[in-house]
Structure formats: C-alpha cells, structure tokens
Amino acid sequence: MRRGKPCRKDTLSFRQVLPRTLVGVLVENDAPLAPLTTLRLGGPARRLVTAHTDDEVIAAVREADAAGEPLLVLGGGSNLVIGDAGFPGTVLRIATEGFVLDGTALEVAAGETWSEVVHRTVLDHDLAGIEFLAGIPGSAGATPVQNVGAYGQEVAQSITEVVAYDRAADEVVTLSNAECAFSYRHSRFKAEPDRYVVLRVRFRLEDNGGLSTPIRYAETARQLGVEQGERVAVAAAWNTVLLLRAGKGMVLDPADHDTWSAGSFFTNPVLTAAQYESFRTRPGTENAPAYPAPEGCTKTSAAWLIDRAGFGKGYGSGPATLSTKHTLALTNRGSATAEDLLVLAREIRDGVREAFGVELVNEPVMVGVAL
C-alpha cells in the first residue's frame, strides 16, 4: 500500500476531549441487520449502536476496542454482504448529519445519504464535480473507502480531505487526498479496514456557470447527444445518469427486486500486459472492451465477461439471480439468504475463469463470509 506523509491531527484530536463512554446512545441487542442493507439479507448483530454525532461514533468505537470486541461500521449498507450467522460483536450504524458549503468547498458528515448530497450540490447550487455519481446508494462516509466512481467520475477527483478517527493512534486525524492513497475502487481506508472510521469528507467542487465537468463516458455522451469531452448543463448530466442507472436497476426501489443488490458485484478486471496477452488468445475476445490503466495495464469489462461466459441478464432459478437489467448485479428476489447469493457469485466467478482465464474480484465487503 502506498503511504502518504503522516496525517495531521484534526481540531478535535486532543485526547482529553474525545468521549470515552456511551451516554444516551441507542443500543439494541440481537438486532436485525438485513433491513439495514440494500441486499436485505444477513443475520443479526449481537449489539447495534446507532450514533448521531461524531462524539457518539468515537465513543462507540473506543468502547468496543477497549472490550476487545469485534466492530463493524455500517453506513448505508449498500456495499455489504453479511453472512447468515450475523455479526458476533458491535455494529456501529453511523447516522450523523451535516452539509456545509462555503463557495465550492463542501464538508459532509459521514452519515449523510450520498444521493442526497449529489442532489443538493447540483440542483440547489449548480455545482459540478460529483454530478455523474448521482443515484449511487449508501452514505457519504463510504465513498472515500471504495473510491466510489461511475460514468467516468470518481470521488478521488474532488475529495480534498477526509476526517477520520484513527483507532490505532486514538485520535481524530485529517488525511489529504494524497494520503488517502486512492486507486481504482481502493483507498488507504480499504487497505486498513480496522484502523480508520470516517467522520467527515471534504470536497472541492466546480462552479462552471451551471455546466458539468467534461463528459468522459461514451454512454453518457451518446445519451446526451454530445461528444466526449464536451460539457452540458450540470442538471442535465445529473438527470441523465439517474435515468441510465434506473434502467440498469441501480437506483433503489423497494418494489423492484432488481434493486435488491449491492450494485456492481464484481470490479472490472485490471490485467497486466502478460495477463492481457494471454486473455486475447482466448476464443471470442477479439471485441472485448479494453481501456488503458496505470502501469501499462489494461482494464476490461466484468459485465462483458459475465455475459460472454453464459450468464445473461436474469440468470439463475433460485431466490438469488442476476438482475434482469444488468449482468453485474446479483439480486435477492425476496427470500434469498447470503449463502444463496454466494453460490451464484461463485458459479459466475468460476465460469468466467474457465472461459477467459480472468479472476473476478468481488466489490462488496464480505462480513462473516468469503467468496
């Protein structure tokens, strides 16, 4: 993992002012977790703590750490597969609120709903920088962990700082963009999942007179009737992405089981030069999508691989199937267990490996289970 310079302490980092006990915080025992995830599956938490302030978040983490108890931090539950046995420790649900905009500088609390953050920056303030990330479920605090991205944009392009509680140092720290070590669907927070708890995220947005950032994604450009690299009204870009995502079952709708998913279940494979050459020797790969990636690598499409390996939209006959709208989403049709979902995921992973020699990697975080 690439490390930046030592991150600096935040203004709340003095240990004598950090809370050490939970006072007046909602604590539930044997609490169902499935309703708190977009997949709507998984067993209960031994203990569920819901925190509404940064102080409550820190107190809950410190209490669990002091007791040597397993801790799972939960935001919007949109990138998570929880095992059927549940979680044998404390689940900390971050429900903090805060949206502070100063010109183009934005600070949001980790518990804010991400889709609402994007909505407000675009429709209320005409600002660009995260408009192509519309409709993505989950919390704002989760976005730097996964370096959330879509339609040619990712949060690493606009995040300036992340304020987090450092469990190892027992202090609140501020990490610069470089110190976050962002890469494709990865970050310092993902590399050290048991160290940092994100409290706030800071962005630098763009005031382009109501115009979007340049359109990088071909599908978006086609839908808008413009060329890649052009700009459009930022609200038009936002609305177009919402329509595209909805057409793929990627905008949450309780009545639509195609949205009972964790979004894209597999990341797009990034192949080394040798891996890509081997891949291209496989029959039927002549027209496979290929995009330049860092260090001489090539990124290809997980959705293309899944489809060409024989797993089309709606594949599966059990309570867990591929989405009828998008081959990258594994869905709960209403009564699936975590094991049902993983059986399907393993079948798809193994089928792609056999057909193309490419190993698919799950994007959601696995809790108590493994692919």
Give me the residue spans of the domains in the chain: 8-94, 100-247, 257-367
Neighbours of 54 (CB within 10 A): 24
- Please provide residue 108's backbone torsions phi and psi, each rounded to the nearest 5 degrees: -125, 145
Q: Phi and psi for 124 in degrees, rounded to 5?
A: -90, -25
> What is the β-pairing status of strands 320-322 and 330-332?
antiparallel
Kindly report the CATH number that applies to the domain delimited by 100-247. 3.30.465.10
Question: Residues 6 or more apart from 159 whose CB is under 8 A from it?
Answer: 143, 144, 177, 180, 182, 201, 202, 203
Cα 74 from Cα 37, distance rounded (Å): 9
Which run of H or E residues covers position 51?
A: strand 45-51
Helix (H), strand (E) at residue 29: strand 26-31
Closest by CA to 240, choosing from 108, 150, 161, 368, is: 150
pLDDT digits (tens, 9 = 90+) for 138-174: 999 999 999 999 999 999 999 999 999 999 999 999 9
Report residues of the chain scoring pLDDT below 50.
1-6, 11-20
Contacts of 365 (CB under 8 A, 6+ apart): 79, 80, 81, 193
What is the spatial distance between Cα 164 and Cα 153, in angstroms, rounded to a whole number? 23
How far apart, in Å, do the first and last CA atoms of the chain sit?
23
| pLDDT 10s digits, 253-288 | 999 999 999 999 999 999 999 999 999 999 999 999
The CB-based long-range contact list for 113-122 (8 Å cut-off, 24+ gap) reads 113/76, 113/138, 113/139, 113/140, 114/76, 114/138, 114/139, 114/140, 114/142, 114/143, 114/148, 118/238, 119/238, 121/205, 122/234, 122/235, 122/238
pLDDT at 321: 98
CATH number of 257-367: 3.90.78.10
- Closest by CA to 321, choosing from 367, 226, 246, 257, is 257
| Residues that are catalytic | 185, 264, 363
Number of separate helices (H) and strands (E) present in the chain: 9, 19
CB 260 within 8 A of CB 251: no
Backbone angles phi, psi at 274, to 5 degrees: -65, -40
**CA angle, 342 then 343 then 348, to 5°:** 90
Fold of the domain built from segment(s) 8-94: 3.30.43
- Contact between residue 173 and residue 9 where contact means Cβ atoms under 8 Å apart: yes
Distance CA 269, CA 362 (A): 10
Element (H or E) spanning 72, and its range? strand 71-74
- Provide DSSP, 322-368: E-SS-TT-EEE-SS--HHHHHHHHHHHHHHHHHHHS----B-SEEES
Q: Are 269 and 252 in contact (CB under 8 A)?
A: no
218: amino acid identity, one letter: A
The answer to whether 217 touches 132, Cβ cutoff 8 Å, is yes
- What is the rounded CA–CA span in Å between residue 195 and residue 193? 6
Q: Pick the closest to residue 248 from 215, 219, 290 (CA basis).
A: 219
Q: How many CA atoms lie within 13 A of 17 on its CB side?
A: 7
Dihedral angle, C-alpha 32, 117, 150, 362, nearest 10 °: -20
Burial bucket for residue 73 (CB in 10 Å: 0-12, 13-18, 19+): buried
